[in-house]
Amino acid sequence: MNTFGKACVFSLVCFVLLIFSLGCTVENKPADEPEETKEDTTITREVSETFIAKVNPRSLVVESMVISSDSRRIAFVTRAREKFKVVLDGKILGTYDDAFSLTFSPDSKRFAFMVRIGEKRYVIVDGEKEKGYDFLISGSPIFSPDSERIAYAAVENEKVFLVINGKEKKEYYIAEPGIPIFSPDSRHVAYVALDEEENPFVVLNGEAGEKYEGILENILFFSLDGKRTAYAAIDGDKTFYVVDGEEKEGYDFLVPGGSIFSPDSRRTAYGAMLNGKEFVVLDGKEGKKYDMIMRGTPIFSPDSKRIVYAARIDSESFAVVDGKEGSKYDSILDASMRLSPDGKRLAYAAVEGDKCFLVINGKEHEEYDLISYIVFSPDSTRIAYAAMQGGKWFAVVDGKKSKEYDEVYSITFSPDSKHTAYAAQRGHYGNVVVDGDEGRWYYSIVGAKGGNIIFDAPDRLHYIAIKGTEIYLIEETIKQPTKPE
């Protein structure tokens, strides 16, 4: 079981089930909601609620719901007899034979989705319908990081086109390309295609690369400066990275999920296996051999100078920091390793027996049944995480445990690192806790499908919440008490 991968999020599926259990005519302020309780906090909160949309749970297509990256907009699909309606911020955009792949741009200002009208499929971008095709490849459309370009893969007469901003690029006789990927600077686009004999190759800015027996799924990367590319290919019995067009050393297996390019785009690191042993390849040099390298590692520090990963020998797991092995444990939870923004602190969740605890720079902290959502503050001096004990969840901020809840998620710090906020669920109701202060209770704080608690300034935050069958944008201002003269 991947324990760390268990997300502590009150899902939108549960929201729909909750509405059904309470009846679809619930009041916006239920009489049995938990009372707001105050700890000894030093803040007050000014709250405003802005209505966004009303949801009928009987017609909602739950899996269609998406929230913009700024957590201010929401879109979803509803069923209308045998048709489907697309709803954006409470407004119906149209009715179609089918509607899917709803997508906001990274800047949250643009919106696109796919529809079927009769036998043709279309992409609708900012309300404008583009050319119809026989099929549209799932997983797209994809906006570029600067939100200026949008790409998707379309099929017409058994030929597949990459379409960027409405213009068709080179066609290939292929079954299905990989999802288009933009570089971080938005200048380049790449995807995996197949030739007529189904040999895969990478297409970069319209130019086809070398063909291989196989290219591993979801292992196609740009460096952060957008100037370098890497992908994993297979030829014969060996798997290898192709970095900037150059084939690297072949191995039996490549460990998925870890770094390939450093933040400064100059270095490379990845896990590999050869003859039953796994190791990290750093800048082309193989490191010490272990029984296993933890998936999702290695990780570069933000300044690209340090490299950390988790390894295993026999029944013991441990962190490896710049080649130095740490204390041995029964296991280290998958995806739990975190480096602070300044690169000086390493935290991860370790397991001994039936207990789990946080380890920060080698120091072990309090034991719990499970730990998740490890977050450093922007200034690297503070840390918060969610912990479970006896079936209940807590937020642990700088070692101090909160009240108990059924769920704790979306933990975040303010930009100046002075405030913490997280979503908490108790029974049928949720709220956002700021510096230990429980705010208003709602049916749910939306922490799924892209929703987050976002600080707009050191003393201002917002999030999306559900009251009955209505969705609201909640905006708060944190007020410090005035000291008596």
Residue with tokens 């699909």: 77
Rounded to whole angstroms, the Cα distance separating 179 from 193 reads 10
Structure-block tokens of residue 185: 């600077």
Residue 301 in this model has a pLDDT that exceeds 90: yes
Q: What is the pLDDT of residue 112?
A: 97
What pLDDT, on a 0 to 100 scale, did the predictor assign at position 173?
53
Cα 432 from Cα 126, distance rounded (Å): 32
* The pLDDT value given to residue 256: 85
Q: What is the per-residue pLDDT for 172?
A: 64
Q: What pLDDT shows up at residue 35?
A: 52
Counting Cβ atoms within 10 Å, is residue 400 exposed (0-12), middle (13-18) or buried (19+)?
exposed
Q: Which residue has the higher pLDDT, 174 or 311?
A: 311
pLDDT in tens, 356-408: 999 999 999 999 999 999 999 999 999 999 999 999 999 999 999 999 999 99
Tell me what pLDDT residue 25 has: 35
Residue with tokens 């007050």: 44
Place of tokens 């908490």: 424
**202, 221 Cβ separation under 8 angstroms:** no
Predicted pLDDT of residue 21? 40
Helix extents (H) in 52-190? none
pTM: 0.87
pLDDT tens digit string along 422-440? 999 999 899 999 999 999 9
Sign of CA pseudo-dihedral 91, 97, 102, 105: negative
pLDDT of 309: 97
When comparing pLDDT for 26 and 88, which is higher? 88
Higher-confidence residue of 304 and 168: namely: 304
Please state the domain extents for the chain. Answer: 1-71+377-390+411-485
Residue 27, judged by CB atoms within 10 A of its CB (0-12, 13-18, 19+), counts as exposed
Identify the DSSP state of 37.
-
Of residues 278 and 8, the one with the higher pLDDT is: 278
**Using 50, 70 and 90 to split pLDDT, how confident is the model at 484?**
low
